[in-house]
Amino acid sequence: MIMPEISHILNRFDVPFFSLDKKSAITYLNKKAGEFFGCNLQEMIGKKIDEIPQSSFFRSFANIYQEALTEQRSVCVQNYYSEKSVWLQHLIYPSEDGLTACVIDITKSEKVREEERINLSREIHDELGQQLTALMMDIAWLDNQMGKKEPRIRKKIDDINDLLNITVETLRKISTDLHPQILDDLGLIAGLEWQNRQFEKSSGIAVQFQCGIANPAFPSSIAICLFRIYQESLTNIARHAEAQMVSTALEWKDDGILLNITDNGKGFNTEVARLKGRSGLAIMKERAMQVGGQWRINSEPNKGTSITVHIPKAASHDQYNNS
C-alpha cells in the first residue's frame, strides 16, 4: 500500500505510474495512469491484468512482467501502442513483493531517431560508397598502366585493392546495421528472402522458408527487429550448428506475428549457454522485448535448435494487410 504522501507526489507526475503484486494484481495507479487507460482508479485496484477489459496494454505485457519478476531485473521496453497511436517506453522495476512501472511517450524522439539512422545509413551508402568505388577504379587504371612491370608494385596494388574490397563490404554492413535499406525498398518478406539467398550462398546450407502473410505492411521497428533476429539466427547456425537444413516461417496468428527459425544441427545445452552469457542470444531476446515481444529458444545436444519470436497484436499495431 502506497502512503498518502507518496501517492500525492506520484499524482503530480505527468507520466502513467502503476504497481502490481506478485500475482499480477494492480495495487496502485496514479491519476495520469487512470487518464491514460481511461479507467476508474478504484475499480482497477485489486484486479489482475488479464481481467481488465478497458485496455489490451497490460495483457500484452503479461509475459514481460512475469519475466521481470522471475529474474528480478529491470526491463526497458519500447513499442508502438495502437490504441493511442503513440510510441511508448515502458520502464519496469521488480522487487520481491511485485513490480512498479511507468510509461513515457517517446513518439517524437523515436521518429527523430529513426530519421537519423536512415539518413546516416544513406550517407554511408551513397557518399562513402561512391568515393570508394571511384578509388577502386583509379587503382584498376594504375594496374592496367603497370602491365607486367615492377612485380613488387603490382603486389602492393593487389593488396590495396583487396583492402578496398573489404572496406566496401564493411561499410555495406554498417549501413545495413543502421537501417536495412531493403526493408524500405522491398519490405520485410523480400528482405528475409534476400537474407536466405545470402546465407545459402555463403554457407552452402539450404533454407526452406514459408510465409503465411500476404502483402504485409509492418511498422518499421517491428520489421527491423524481426530482420535482425533472423540475421543473427542464421549467423549463429553458420558458425556453430553444423546443420544441413534450416526451416524458417513467418506467420500471422490471431494474437500476433510469429517468426520461427529451426535447424537440424548439433544443438546445445541452453542452460549452459545462459550461464556462459552468450551475447548473441541475449541481444536477440532484448531486441524482441524492446518491441513488446517474446523470444524463446529450444535446443538439446544432437537435436537441433529452434528459435521463436512472438510479437503480440497489441504491440505490433494494426498495420498487417493479411489479404
Q: Give 12: exposed, middle or buried? Use CB within 10 Å, 0-12, 13-18, 19+.
A: exposed
pLDDT in tens, 257-277: 999 999 999 999 887 776 565
Q: Diameter of the chain by CA atoms?
A: 88
∠ Cα 227 221 101 (to 5°): 125
pLDDT of residue 247: 97
**Better-predicted residue by pLDDT, 255 or 30:** 30
**What's the average model confidence in pLDDT over 298-319?**
80
Q: Is it the case that residue 133 has pLDDT exceeding 90? A: no
pLDDT in tens, 196-238: 998 999 899 999 999 987 766 777 788 888 998 999 899 899 9
∠ Cα 101 295 320 (to 5°): 90
Phi and psi at 6, nearest 5°, equal -70, -40
pLDDT of residue 2: 65
**Better-predicted residue by pLDDT, 197 or 151:** 197
Are 28 and 18 contacting, i.e. CB atoms less than 8 angstroms apart?
Answer: yes
pLDDT of residue 318: 41
What CA–CA distance (Å, rounded) separates 73 from 136? 50
Please give the span between the terminal C-alpha atoms of the chain, in angstroms, as a whole number.
Answer: 49
**Better-predicted residue by pLDDT, 184 or 25:** 25
Are 217 and 319 contacting, i.e. CB atoms less than 8 angstroms apart?
Answer: yes
The DSSP code sequence of 186-236 is T-HHHHHHHHHHHHHHHH--EEEEEE--SS----HHHHHHHHHHHHHHHHH
Return the C-alpha cell found at 246: 534450416
3-state secondary structure of 47: coil
pLDDT in tens, 103-115: 888 888 877 777 7
Q: At what angle do helices 220-236 and 107-123 cross, to 10 degrees?
A: 60
pLDDT of residue 55: 59
Mean pLDDT for the chain overall: 82
pLDDT in tens, 47-92: 887 777 655 677 667 778 888 888 898 988 877 676 677 778 889 9
pLDDT of residue 320: 44
pTM of the model: 0.59
Q: Which of 9, 53, 66, 5 has its CA nearest to residue 32?
A: 9
What CA–CA distance (Å, rounded) separates 14 from 37? 14
Helices (H), the chain: 4-10, 31-37, 41-44, 57-60, 62-71, 107-123, 129-146, 151-178, 181-185, 188-203, 220-236, 270-276, 279-290, 313-316
3-state secondary structure of 21: strand
What CA–CA distance (Å, rounded) separates 44 from 242? 52
pLDDT of residue 54: 56
What CA–CA distance (Å, rounded) separates 292 from 180? 21
pLDDT in tens, 35-44: 887 777 788 8
Return the C-alpha cell found at 43: 475499480
Return the C-alpha cell found at 313: 497484436
pLDDT of residue 278: 59
pLDDT in tens, 5-38: 677 777 788 888 999 998 888 898 898 888 887 7
What CA–CA distance (Å, rounded) separates 29 from 313? 25
Q: Is it the case that residue 323 has pLDDT exceeding 50? A: no
